[in-house]
Structure 1
Amino acid sequence: MDGAWHRDRGQAPGGRAREDAGGSLEPPVERHQAGVNIGSVTSAINTGGADAALLQAILDGTADTAHPNGVRYGNNFQEFTSQGIQTQLEGAFQTGALTHNLTFGVRRHEDETRNVADAGNEIYQQVNGRLVFQGVTGPNKNRGEAEAWSVWLGDRISYGNWSFLPVIRYEDIQTVGNVLNPAPRNSLTNTSVGLGVNYAVDANWTLLAGAYEGFAPPGSSAAEGTKGEESVNYEAGVRYRNGSLGIDAIAFLSDYDNALRLCLVANPCPGGLVDGSTLQSGAKEVYGLELGAFATLFETADFSIPARLSYTYTEGEYTRASDTAGGVLAGDTLDYTPPHTGVIQFGIEHQRGWDIYAALNYTDETCTTTTCDRIGIDDTYLRTESLFTVDLSASYDISDVVEVYTKVDNVFDERAIMHRGSDGARGNPGRYIGVGIRLNF
């Protein structure tokens, strides 16, 4: 039996952040009197929309604001607490010709979020290229809570060349969006099952297949009766092992019903909704192929040269439209699902305790919205860019306990647009150099 108690407490850094969703840059024209969030500003400038020149001038500091809200900043001082306890029992026994490896577990988990800012939005006017303070709005304090129980049972059953793994999991989840205003509450339970099957053809080849139900609860701001996201996940493949050589090929299909989307600043829902609520967005399918291989290319008494490859091909689409106006349509693509990703790694491992590795990483371009493949849609600003990077790392064992290491991520400082959110395009991390010490007890 093993038990664990965990408690993590975090706080948003800085305490003050520009409010991208509520934050606005209002130009002095009537149709913008309701305010323009930064995402709409970026979109208008990128596509040459109405008042693009004026909006760009406001960002450049060469034009003044006139709307009473001017430029609005938000104090977003969040605190987070995540705590729980988990225990798991494992045991093996025989029933006739069957060998059982039983696993039973229980987990209790609690989450809490708090906005403890003493002030709400800070209002400025832009005058002659400078921000002039106007005042503050009142604070919007809140506290959300989530509590969950989960219980699971699995039994790996072996019989000759066959291996079966039936599993079952039960979850009970209670959420409150804001205890200070307890309207958004939700309560739901879910039971999911699965079965995996392996067949050892011989000492080298294994066939595998499985079908598992999946479940993801809605966010804490979900109203009573909001259902979770449910899916059925299928996989089938082959595995080969022969000494230091290994090859895996697995096809997968995930069929989602009642797909969920959390409406956040970084991922606005239709109409610009960013209040943390959950949008039920139809049904979708994700399918593809995973390939993996590893081998020792060269080996002597002193050192070896290992290599590893992993590649994933992924496709998918929405198969049923959302019930929400302006939501997804059947046939829409999946956002942020690159068709091709892969990593090739080579290394040198020496018997004296030092290792050197190089990794080649590739991520394909992908749509950033579900609408970018629709007929007649200009997808110029609705896609990420493909990215190829090289990483290097080295380590040395000073002793059985102490290891020193260094690494350089993105050696050639390659840059590409990897995300397009409400605040515009964002790139990948640049070159990173790090050194450290690992202690192994």
Structure 2
Amino acid sequence: MGLLLPVAATAQNEVDLDKVYITGGQGQVLKQPGSATLIDQQALETFEYTDIHRILTAVPGVNLYEEDGYGLRPNIGLRGTSPDRSKKVTLMEDGVLSGPAPYSAPAAYYFPNVSRMSAVEVFKGPSAIKYGPATIGGAVNLVSRPIPYLPAGELDLQYGSDNFQRYNGWYGQESGQFGYLLEGLRVQSDGFKELDGGGDTGFERNDLNLKLSWTLPGEVAQRFVLKAGYADEVSDETYLGLTRADFDDDPYRRYAASQLDRMDWTHQSLHLMHQLDWGDHSLTTDVYRNTFERDWFKINGFGGNGPLLQTVLKDPSGVNAEFYRVLTGEQASANVNEQLMIGSNDRQYVSQGVQTRLNTSFAWLAVRHDVELGLRYHQDTVERLHSEAAYDMQVGGRLQQAADVATTLDNEGQAKALAVYVQNDMRWNDTTVSVGLRSEHIDTEETTYDSVSGEQTGKVDSSESVLLPGVGVYSQLTNTVGVLAGVYQGYSATTPGKDGDTDPEESINYELGSRYQGELGQAELIAFFNDYTELTGTCSFSNGCDNAVVDSQLNAGAAQVYGVEASWNKHLFAGAHIIPLSFTYTYSHGEFDANFADDSGVFGDRNNNIVAGEELAYLPKHRLNAQAGIERGPLAMNVSVLYQSDMRDTPGEGSIPASQRIDAHTVVDLSLRYRVLQDVLLYATVDNLLDLEYEVASKPYGYRPGKPRSANLGAKVSF
């Protein structure tokens, strides 16, 4: 079950703050109908990861692929859902939707900095229906640092390979009825890629957060928490990868055509939480607003009648050879077709709403009922203003603008959603039956504008409603062994502008498993089966779609995804030594059950006729993570080994051709910690200890590498 460790309580305030944990804390995880993993602060500090991908390797049922090596824009899937830009996973911070626009534009181009989190939760199974809008795979909840009861603070400094730097400081306390926490974070690196002709490939991130609390203890205890945050990023990142031959020669090369690529974003958040506790009842209300502005200036393709970037990078020979040489800067642009179209994807997002949940417990007919009733009204918008201009590749590998900037896309998407759910966990003896029902009503609107005049040219309204039932059972058969089973309906909404042209994604999901807790440690084994009546894919630049179809959806018809999740962890004791051990494994298989044409490249290559029986892309059959450590007194060492089998980059059957294969890889990470004084900790980490060169993806434009060996030294001073 991953890394399950105790969660700090705050009984001093007479308000149960564990309710920000969707897993309910360690005590509830082991008896949940459904799979839940809680990675707490101690586990997060073991390897000092700043990349959510590496953190989630310890969670069974996760399928993902890296992109930039630092986790700037994650690609996370659960139980076989598409990992592309984490669109099919409900992402939250402190129980509140954290994506830029979860309904109208679900691609998560913003993801919170995990360095300021105290826990990460992953929830799958029947109770996932509580955490929409995407309910098929499950939810990931990031828990921000709590306000400490006593005055406390920490300064964390880290330096490493490629001029990696991390500065993280926080201080806070509860004083009487009031509390505060102030935290600042900066992370930066020069990057590990080498740009042809020289140039930057790194990033800088800043994050500033303030928490204020007011607690009123008593028989009816209340707590108000106001959280305000600001974050920004400037990164010299690109979607442009390499040909297979160039990747094999030097995976960390970047072509000259990407020299101007740059992401620049800012994020502001405001979250007011009110919690009311009395007896066995609590009422928690959140009012939130997130704004996100981003501008990604990047290469989009060739001008005129030039070929697609994917086509050139898949086969840089023959008629594509000259275009390849333009990309690398070896040859100047000779005509319009060889010009490079480079532009700005300027977007502004707003995500806001109010949600409340009532938790109550009572006994009736010798059965204890733990009931949760939730309501959320949510609005989000995305405004897109995309533009581009033609650039000439010059002799010497430098780019020069050759034409005026033109607007290529000007539209706005809006969504308003009312979600209501109820879940009743009925407990008697050693059995829990969880019955839940979720209702979503969503109104969307897409408005398009003329690229020259800016006048409105179209408007499409649509609405959809759905009821999603679920039931799960957990029974403790013996003191050490329990069994669980569940079935629920999964759902993922359509995005604005569809007006009935596209059906929402729907599935019936099943799971069956067992848990063990005893002298041999903790273990869990769960089989899952997701039976899609309608599988959908959503276009984005991250999978190579054009401006004209960005955020459009494609119906793929029926599909099945099934697999097995296994986990085990235990602490051994050998004299004065503590030896923590953990193991997680996921087997996954997914295939289409219908024939259809993928003209946009959502599921693989463009203009690909997909046939029933073909396997899904970017779903490895095997993912295994083993972690082991040894601790004695102030010294601790931990090792993590991740194995991922090969996977397809486009749907297919049988053995995977080399041209469509993302090869298997095994990555080893190491960490050392030494507590010099009670309040001073020194640590060292090495990611990719064996310096393995491996590809993580070939979408949207060519092969891209995982991070090479990266060594870091750090020091923490607590006060």
Q: TM-score category by the smaller chain? A: 0.7 to 0.9
- 1:423 corresponds in structure 2 to 701
Q: Is the 8 A contact 2:322 2:331 kept in 1?
A: no
Q: Is the 8 A contact 1:244 1:296 kept in 2?
A: no
Measured at CA, do residues 98 and 385 of structure 1 come closer, stay the same or move farther in structure 2, by a change above 3 Å?
same
CA separation in 1, counterparts of 2:422 and 2:678?
38
Q: Does 1:339 align with 2:621?
A: yes
Q: Is the 8 A contact 2:331 2:393 kept in 1?
A: no
CA separation in 2, counterparts of 1:328 and 1:259?
13
After the TM superposition, which residues 185-200 of structure 1 pair with which residues of structure 2 at under 5 Å, given as runs? 185-200=461-476
Bigger mean CA deviation after superposition, 417-426 or 55-64: 55-64
Q: Is the 8 A contact 1:282 1:328 kept in 2?
A: no
The one of 378, 381, 391 equivalent to 1:124 is: 391
Amino acid paired to 1:163: T
After the TM superposition, which residues 301-380 of structure 1 pair with which residues of structure 2 at under 5 Å, given as runs? 302-322=576-596, 326-349=608-631, 355-371=636-652, 373=653, 379-380=657-658
Q: Does 1:413 align with 2:691?
A: yes
CA separation in 2, counterparts of 1:438 and 1:220?
49
Measured at CA, do residues 272 and 133 of structure 1 come closer, stay the same or move farther in structure 2, by a change above 3 Å?
closer
Report the 3-state secondary structure (helix = DSSP H, G, I; strand = E; otherwise coil) of the residue aligned with 2:420: strand
- 1:57 corresponds in structure 2 to 325
CA separation in 1, counterparts of 2:678 and 2:420?
39
Q: Is the 8 A contact 2:354 2:378 kept in 1?
A: yes
Deviations 1:325-366 (A, max 9, x none): 7542211111100000011011234566x6442211111110
Q: Is the 8 A contact 2:323 2:338 kept in 1?
A: no
The one of 171, 175, 181 equivalent to 2:444 is: 175
Deviations 1:366-401 (A, max 9, x none): 001113x379xx832211111111122345679999
- 1:295 corresponds in structure 2 to 570
Measured at CA, do residues 37 and 52 of structure 1 come closer, stay the same or move farther in structure 2, by a change above 3 Å?
closer
Q: Does 1:152 align with 2:421?
A: yes
Amino acid paired to 1:287: Y
Bigger mean CA deviation after superposition, 104-113 or 357-366: 104-113
Amino acid paired to 2:480: N
Deviations 1:219-277 (A, max 9, x none): 334344532100111111111110461121111111111100112222246x9975321
CA separation in 2, counterparts of 1:272 and 1:122?
14
The alignment's TM-score, normalised by the length of structure 1, stands at 0.85
Measured at CA, do residues 202 and 157 of structure 1 come closer, stay the same or move farther in structure 2, by a change above 3 Å?
same
CA separation in 1, counterparts of 2:557 and 2:717?
46
- 1:30 corresponds in structure 2 to none
Report the 3-state secondary structure (helix = DSSP H, G, I; strand = E; otherwise coil) of the residue aligned with 1:76: strand
Deviations 1:109-136 (A, max 9, x none): 222222356xx21212345455443222
CA separation in 1, counterparts of 2:533 and 2:718?
45
Amino acid paired to 1:93: F
CA separation in 1, counterparts of 2:717 and 2:468?
39
Measured at CA, do residues 6 and 238 of structure 1 come closer, stay the same or move farther in structure 2, by a change above 3 Å?
same
CA separation in 2, counterparts of 1:206 and 1:314?
24
Q: What is the deviation of 1:213? A: 0.8
Bigger mean CA deviation after superposition, 247-256 or 36-45: 36-45
Q: Does 1:17 align with 2:297?
A: yes
- 2:371 corresponds in structure 1 to 102
Amino acid paired to 1:360: V
The one of 537, 557, 569 equivalent to 1:282 is: 557
Report the 3-state secondary structure (helix = DSSP H, G, I; strand = E; otherwise coil) of the residue aligned with 1:266: helix
Report the 3-state secondary structure (helix = DSSP H, G, I; strand = E; otherwise coil) of the residue aligned with 1:59: helix
Measured at CA, do residues 66 and 433 of structure 1 come closer, stay the same or move farther in structure 2, by a change above 3 Å?
same
Q: What is the deviation of 1:429? A: 2.4
Q: What is the deviation of 1:409? A: 2.4
Measured at CA, do residues 436 and 6 of structure 1 come closer, stay the same or move farther in structure 2, by a change above 3 Å?
farther
Measured at CA, do residues 414 and 214 of structure 1 come closer, stay the same or move farther in structure 2, by a change above 3 Å?
same
The one of 480, 484, 505 equivalent to 1:208 is: 484
- 1:267 corresponds in structure 2 to 543
Amino acid paired to 2:658: T
Measured at CA, do residues 426 and 101 of structure 1 come closer, stay the same or move farther in structure 2, by a change above 3 Å?
same
Amino acid paired to 2:625: V
Measured at CA, do residues 294 and 324 of structure 1 come closer, stay the same or move farther in structure 2, by a change above 3 Å?
closer
CA separation in 1, counterparts of 2:506 and 2:680?
45
Measured at CA, do residues 35 and 431 of structure 1 come closer, stay the same or move farther in structure 2, by a change above 3 Å?
same
Deviations 1:182-202 (A, max 9, x none): 534331111101111112211
Amino acid paired to 2:560: E
Measured at CA, do residues 404 and 243 of structure 1 come closer, stay the same or move farther in structure 2, by a change above 3 Å?
farther
Q: What is the deviation of 1:323? A: 6.9
Higher relative contact order by CA 8 Å / sep ≥ 6: 1 or 2?
2
After the TM superposition, which residues 6-85 of structure 1 pair with which residues of structure 2 at under 5 Å, given as runs? 6-12=288-294, 15-20=295-300, 23-24=301-302, 33-45=304-316, 48=317, 50-60=318-328, 61-67=330-336, 70-85=339-354
Larger radius of gyration: 1
Report the 3-state secondary structure (helix = DSSP H, G, I; strand = E; otherwise coil) of the residue aligned with 1:40: helix
Identity, % of aligned positions: 26
Measured at CA, do residues 289 and 17 of structure 1 come closer, stay the same or move farther in structure 2, by a change above 3 Å?
same
Amino acid paired to 1:36: P
CA separation in 1, counterparts of 2:566 and 2:684?
29
The one of 382, 407, 410 equivalent to 2:660 is: 382
Q: What is the deviation of 1:402? A: 8.7
Q: How many aligned residue pairs are there?
A: 418
Q: What is the deviation of 1:159? A: 2.1
Report the 3-state secondary structure (helix = DSSP H, G, I; strand = E; otherwise coil) of the residue aligned with 1:422: coil
Report the 3-state secondary structure (helix = DSSP H, G, I; strand = E; otherwise coil) of the residue aligned with 1:421: coil
Report the 3-state secondary structure (helix = DSSP H, G, I; strand = E; otherwise coil) of the residue aligned with 1:39: helix
Measured at CA, do residues 402 and 328 of structure 1 come closer, stay the same or move farther in structure 2, by a change above 3 Å?
farther
Report the 3-state secondary structure (helix = DSSP H, G, I; strand = E; otherwise coil) of the residue aligned with 2:658: coil
CA separation in 2, counterparts of 1:67 and 1:188?
45
Q: What is the deviation of 1:86? A: 2.3
Unaligned residue ranges in structure 2 (runs of 5+): 1-282, 450-455, 600-607
Deviations 1:136-187 (A, max 9, x none): 2333433322222211111111122321001111111222233645534331
Amino acid paired to 2:584: S
Q: Is the 8 A contact 2:426 2:434 kept in 1?
A: yes
Amino acid paired to 2:321: A
Deviations 1:25-66 (A, max 9, x none): x5xxxxxx5332322221231xx4x40322223223325331
The alignment's TM-score, normalised by the length of structure 2, stands at 0.54
CA separation in 1, counterparts of 2:285 and 2:526?
34
Deviations 1:55-88 (A, max 9, x none): 2232233253312782211112223332233222
